[in-house]
Amino acid sequence: MPQVVVDVVLKPEISDPQGQAVLGALGRLGHPGVRSVRQGKHFVLEVDGDPDEAELREIAETLLANPVIEDVELRLAND
């Protein structure tokens, strides 16, 4: 059964307080080389037959994400 991965992250112009908190913690834990952190959501959908990209994009943009403030990336999962 094909799997489609949907990753949702805040758009670059939207403040990401959780990402900033992780970035601060990384510095305190001795990892100063990390310059930026953006948090997001990760979904794995199992679909029947060949994935329909238009249908999956509609699902992602109407249910899984808020397209006003979030970007969506779709891809087939690697087994």
Query: Is the pTM above the cut of 0.85?
Result: no
Q: Which architecture characterizes domain 3-76 according to CATH?
A: 2-Layer Sandwich (3.30)
Please report, for the chain, the start and end positions of each structural domain, with discontinuous segments joined by +: 3-76
63 token code pair: 């249910």
In the chain, the amino acid numbered 4 is V
pLDDT in tens, the chain (79 residues): 899 999 999 999 999 999 999 999 999 999 999 999 999 999 999 999 989 999 999 999 999 999 999 999 999 887 5
Taking the C-alpha atoms of residue 76 and residue 34, their distance in angstroms, rounded to an integer, is 28
Sheet strands side by side (includes 70-76): 40-46, 3-10, 70-76
Give percent of the chain above pLDDT 70. Answer: 99
Report whether 74 contacts 53 (CB < 8 A).
Answer: yes
The SS3 of residue 33 is coil
